[in-house]
Amino acid sequence: MLRKIPRTRISTPSNFLEIIKHLFFSVHNDEAVNEFEEKFAEYIKVKNVIATSSGKLSLYLILNSLNLDKNDEIILPAYTSVSVPNVIMSSNLTPVFTDISHKTLNINENLIGNKVTIKTRCILPTHIYGQPCEMNRIMKIAKKHNLYVIEDCAHACGSEYNGKKVGSVGDFGFFSFGFGKHISTLGGGAITTNNDYVAEQIRKKIKKFKKPSNFELLKKIFRAYIIKFFTYPDVFSFTLYPFILFFGSETITKIFEENTRLMKNLPSNCVRKFSDFQAIIGVKEISRLDDRNNERIKNAELYTKHLKSIINIQDTLPRTKSAYLNYAILVDYRKDVIKKMIKNGVDTQRTWMKNCSSLEISNNFKNDCPVSEEVAKKVIYLPLYPELNKSEILKIVDVLKS
C-alpha cells in the first residue's frame, strides 16, 4: 500500500489568501455572528443559538446561568471528554458519574434514576461519537424530578433522535466547532435552547468578553492549514507516516490530547467572543454540513457491513441517525492492533475519551463504572472522514480481518 491512510482530514476554507485578506482588511462587526446564529438555529430548529469560543465555554455558561447552588449535582456519563467534569467542578458543582451501555457507549439510562438525589439539578447526556442517547427515557426522568437536561452535542452536529436534531430535544445543547468536528470554525462552539430567559442571561455574560485578537486567529489559521497539509494522503505518506511508523501512534495522539489536571478557572484564551471571521466560515460550513455528514454515514455503513460479524462496534438505536464523528471499534490488545494497522499503512488511534470517574481529578467523586473502564481501554477510532473513499475503507477492513 504505497499511499498511506491518515487517521483524520480536517475541513478548512479552500482559499487561504482570501481568508488572510478578510482577517486583516475587512470591516469587523457582529452581523456575520448574527447570521451564523440564525442559520444554525434554523438548522437545529431551536429559538436561540448563542455562538461561543468553544464547547467548553458553552457548558460553563449554561451551568453558570441556571442559578445552581454550590455542590449541586450533575448526572453525566463516566465515559466522556475530560473537559466536561472539569467544567462542572470548576463551576463548584458535583459530577455524579454514571456507567454507560456496552452497546451504544452512551450513558446507561437505566442507571440514571438511582443517581437522583435532593441535590440533583441536571442530567448531561453525551451523544458519544455522534450516536444519540435514549432521550425519551432521559426526558421522562428529568420531568419526574424537575431537572434540566443539557445535551452534549460536541460529537453530534447533525445527528437526529426521533426526527429531531440533537440539541433541540433537551432544555439546552452545546456544540464544539474545533478542528476535526463536523463544523470547523477554527475553534468555536454554540449553545442551543428554547429558553429565552437563560439565553438572554448568557448573551449578557458574553458581551463582557473580549474579541479574539487577529494574532490569536492567525495562529488558528496556520495550525489548521498545517494539519490539513500534512494529512493530505500524498504528503502524509512521505512525512508524518514514517514518523508515526518509527515513534508510534501515541506520539501524535498525545499532542492533541486534553490535559487531565483539574481546572480552577477556564483558561483566559477560552473566555473570548466568537468572531465575525469565524462566523463567516461557519455559515459556509453549515451550507455543506448535510452533504459531508452523508459521506460520513455512507462510509460508516460500509464499515458496519464488513465488520459487524467479526468485531465489536458501537450500536445505533432505532429511530436515530448518527452523524458519526468517529467510527469506534472495541478490541483486545489495542496497542498491538494499532501497531499492526500502522505497519500496513493505516494510521489510527486510541480513544481520547476517559473513564473520568477513575481520574485523579475525580478522587472525591469516584463511582464504580466497570463498563466505562473497559471501553476506555479498548476503543480504537478508524479513519472516518468525507474524503475517505470506498477502496480505502475496504483496505482498512482487510487489514483488520487479517
pTM for this one?
Answer: 0.95
Whether the pLDDT of residue 231 is over 70: the answer is yes
pLDDT above 70: percentage of residues in the chain: 95
Residue 160 has φ and ψ, to the nearest 5°, of -135, 145
pLDDT, tens digit (0-9, with 9 covering 90-100), for 145-193: 999 999 999 999 999 999 999 999 999 999 999 988 999 998 999 999 9
CA gap 170, 149 in Å, rounded: 5
What structural domains does the chain harbor?
15-223+255-402 (3.40.640.10)
Residues 6+ positions from 341 with CB-CB distance below 8 Å: 347, 348, 396, 399, 400
Strands 320-321 and 160-161: antiparallel
* Exposed / middle / buried, residue 143 (Cβ in 10 Å: 0-12, 13-18, 19+): exposed
Q: For strand 79-80 and strand 354-355, is the pairing parallel, antiparallel, or unpaired?
A: antiparallel
Average pLDDT over residues 356-374: 90
**Tens digit of pLDDT for each residue in 4-62?**
999 999 877 666 666 776 676 665 667 899 999 999 999 999 999 999 999 999 999 99
Residue 57 and residue 156: Cα distance in Å, rounded?
17
Tell me the percentage of the chain whose pLDDT exceeds 90: 79
